[in-house]
Each structure stands twice: as structure tokens, then as C-alpha cells.
Amino acid sequence: MSHASRGACRVGPGPARRALASRALVRALAGTALLALPPATALAQDANLARSLAATCANCHGTNGNARGDMKPLAGMPADKLLAMLADFRSGNQPATIMHQISKGYSEEQLKLVAAYFAAQTPPAAK
Ligand code: HEC
């Protein structure tokens, strides 16, 4: 029985997919919270939102953009360069396997927050 159920788990949506789904939920909730809060806390909320959004990239690009292995690190990349790359993924000008879909899943405003967040991180080489 345990064999059968383990097998069933393996053909399910998989951890990455489920993580993406739950992150989408977190994003939705974060958006709701932001609207409900008074303007005075908007800046702190922006920082938290930026970190939450950037965390959705961590599965592939590493924690705080410090990628491991072959993946290119995002940490310390200038925000305008990051935004330009993301815009190219969104428009399809830059060939990609997954980043076309991913970049289209965020608003311009969210991508700006994410880009600013990664730009402010320490790149691995500088550690
Ligand atoms: C499911 C894995 C995955 C996730 C999640 C992901 N990426 Fe990517 N990213 C890739 C892959 C793979 C590439 C290489 C291009 C391709 O094949 O799509 C890439 C390339 C990039 C590049 C180009 C890097 C370079 O130097 O060429 C940028 C910028 C980027 N991603 C930003 C992001 C941001 C910002 C997020 C979060 C909003 C994110 N990625 C989430 C897999 C991912």
C-alpha cells in the first residue's frame, strides 16, 4: 500500500509546482494586506513585498539571488539591467525555456520591486 501511495505522490504536481501555487496565494494575500494598511506603513510593506516576490525566484536562482551550480546569480545585478532582461523575456525577444512564462506572471510594479531587491543583495563573488 505504501508503495502505491508513494508512487501516486510522485506523479502528482510535484513540489516545485505546489510551491509556486502556494506562493501565488502568498502574493495574493500580500496584495490584500497592502491595500488594507494605512499609507504610513507602505514603505515597510514594499520592502516586505519585494522580499516575498524575490523569494519566488529563489527556487531556481538561489536564496537572495545567490545562485548555485550553473544558474546565473541575480544578486548584485543592477536593477535596470535586470528589468531590461525581464522585459526581453516578457516580449519574447530573449530566448528562454521558462522565463517567458515567469516574467509574464508579474506586474511591471512587482518586477521593479524584485529588480531593486536583487540589486541590493551582495553578489556571491563579493562575499
Ligand atoms: C522555475 C525556475 C525559475 C524561476 C522560479 C525563475 N527563474 Fe529566472 N531563469 C530560469 C532559467 C532556466 C533561466 C535561463 C533562461 C531560460 O531558459 O528561461 C533564467 C534566467 C533569468 C534571467 C537572465 C539571467 C542572465 O544573466 O542571463 C533573469 C534576469 C531571471 N531569470 C530573473 C528571474 C526573476 C526575477 C525571477 C522571479 C520573479 C525568476 N527569474 C524566477 C529559471 C527560473
Closest ligand 1 atom to Cα of 58 = 5
Which letter, b or e, does each residue of 1-28 get, where b requires 16 or more Cβ atoms within 10 Å of its Cβ?
eeeeeeeeeeeeeeeeeeebeebeeebe
Better pLDDT: 6 or 88: 88
Q: Is the pLDDT of residue 32 over 60?
A: no
In the predicted structure, residue 55 carries a pLDDT above the cut 50: yes
Q: Which of 16-25, 40-49, 86-95 has the lowest mean pLDDT?
A: 16-25
Nearest CA to ligand 1 atom 20: 99
Atom number in ligand 1 closest to CA 118: 35
Flag the least confident range among 54-63, 84-93, 116-125: 116-125
Q: Which residues contact 121 (CB under 8 A, 6 or more apart)?
A: 64, 65, 66, 74, 75, 76
Measure the CA–CA gap between 22 and 51, rounded to whole angstroms: 16
Say yes or no: CB of residue 58 within 6 Å of ligand 1.
no
* 39 Cα to the center of ligand 1, angstroms: 32
